[in-house]
Amino acid sequence: MKTLFLKLAIAAGLVISTASVSAQAQEVELDEILLREAFDAADSTGDGTIDEAEFAADVIAAFVVVDRNGNGAVSIVELKAVGVEEPGLIDINNDGTFSLLEIMNFKIVEFENVDLNGDGVLTFDEIKKYESQR
């Protein structure tokens, strides 16, 4: 399942390791294609934007995929299994895992940061710009 949250999390953990400029350009093009696919999957209404409800649904879908043991919390091991090395999440209750609530709190703040014009929805261009600045 390709969710926007999962794609953004994986993208945040990736490091460009190609040697040539053309290889980097191809990687950037592939990243944009994957980002577009993830965006389109999250845009459940097909209106070209992702509102908070769609974003939350995407985060929940990704959480279910990443929580491989189904215990309702995501561990660092589970995050690493999907390519996320440094999640940037805050373990609010210091139990060594991330609950859906902890992840959702983090992702809602990220939603607000990505929503450059403050209109309450994300466009592909806003997400692409945000990703290029990471």
What ranges do the domains of the chain cover? 4-132
Segment (H or E) for 5:
helix 4-13
The CATH code for residues 4-132 is 1.10.238.10
Which DSSP symbol is given to 44? T
Over residues 66-91, the pLDDT tens digits come to 899 999 999 988 888 877 777 677 78
Lowest mean pLDDT across 10-19, 78-87, 99-108, 114-123: 10-19
Is residue 110 pLDDT above 70, yes or no?
A: yes
Mean pLDDT across the chain, nearest whole number?
A: 79
pLDDT band at residue 131 under the 50/70/90 scheme: confident
CA–CA distance, 3 with 37 (Å, rounded to integer): 9
Are 42 and 62 a contacting pair, CB within 8 Å? no
pLDDT band at residue 118 under the 50/70/90 scheme: very high
